[in-house]
Chain A
Amino acid sequence: MISSYLPGRTFLHRIGAGWKLLALLLVSMVLLPVDSPLVLAAVLACALGLLASLGSGAGTVLRSLKPVAFVVVFILALHGLFGTLEAGVIVALRLASLLLLATLITLTTRLDDMLDTLTPVLRPVALVGLSERRLALAIALAIRFTPMLVDVTRQLNEAYRARSGRNGHVKLVAPLCLHALNAADHIAEALAARGGVDGCPPESTDGEEDKVRR
């Protein structure tokens, strides 16, 4: 997971957002029941190949995956200590491939494209009174907020460690929430300043532009 779009014109950038999301969906479905380390290693190798296709951007991706790599190592160690190492390797390989693929997609797809792809898919929710645009925006915001909050957690933990020499664990949840709430207020303000969620409809109908909006 990473917070920012990596500009570029590589192979991955050129594929449509819809295809990439569909591919991730399929891979995640296929990979879950797979228990063969060889197959999983092959998938990871393919993901690494895609990473290499980014060229100079690959280093940025790897740096951004560093905190996640610790999670993978931790799970591997946990299985090694309390279970079988083989099960740990399987879980770690599966985790690493899916994480890498998902990160590659978020990195090479602009938020706008992601939103445009999701909007038609979510059209049925309009039936229950939610506009698909609102839902697509909420999804896009949540996907963007997550790496930001993971980063905030990491910084909070570093600050805590500097003060106490220990990891913060559960003590970080409350400050994390406060950070999140402040960020939410800033974003809500920014959204309001730009005319709100429905401020700029993608297809504006005649005459509607003149109406004063909330």
Chain B
Amino acid sequence: MTADRSLVHIAIHVAVISALGYYLPAFTTPFTGSVPITAQTLGIMLAGVMLGPVRGALAVLLFLLIVALGMPLLSGGRGGIGVFFLPSVGFLVGFPVAAFVCGLVMQALKRRPVFPSVLVASMVGGILALYPFGILGISLVAGKPLWESAVGALVFLPGDILKCFGTALVASAIERGRPDAIFSRQ
């Protein structure tokens, strides 16, 4: 893939992440101290799964940069430097890492069928790698002890497991429609 094509695909994945935020708006629960439940993590995992570790992480970093510039692209129309002072900051910081890990696992499972590979990749990247960042963020910003933040973060777990299945379904659909576009498998 040429550098230019890679750049365009990174940019379009940023737009997919943003569009997902518009499509399913954020929902805040009282348990999690204003950390919203969003469909955007699906986009984050998808970026890693589709683009591979480096490009996936770059796409997520680009997304966060645009959000910091003030564009209201985070789900619920949030944006600006201010979002990095909210309890959800840990998840934001963890997003590029999550995409990177998703991409790494996808590359490691290159020879396996798409659906199970993506399911494993998104669970390892989008849950195992992401949650420690998120929990630490809630704990630091909301001033709660770590275990309490961890229990609070459990609220996201059912939704995130569903999102992992969603990511796997979407990736298999893309594999049928555009098998050439899963760059993590090339």
Contact = CB atoms under 8 A, between A and B. Distances in A.
B18 A170 contact: no
Given A68-B77, A141-B11, A188 B4 contact: yes
| Interface SS, B side | helix
A91 B170 CA distance: 31
Interface in B1-26: 2-5, 7-16, 18-20, 22-26
Contacts of A135: 62
Interface string B150-186: 0000000000000000100110011001100100000
B128 interface: no
- Interface centre among A33, A142, A176, by most B CB within 10 Å? A142
Interface of B: 2-5, 7-16, 18-20, 22-27, 30, 42, 46, 50, 62-63, 65-66, 69-73, 76-83, 85-86, 166, 169-170, 173-174, 177-178, 181
Nearest to B6: A188
B169 to A, nearest CB: 7
A173 B30 CA distance: 28
A29 interface: yes
B5 A149 contact: no
A150 B19 contact: yes
A133 B170 CA distance: 32
A185 to B, nearest CB: 8
Contact of B7 (A68, A138, A143, A153): A138
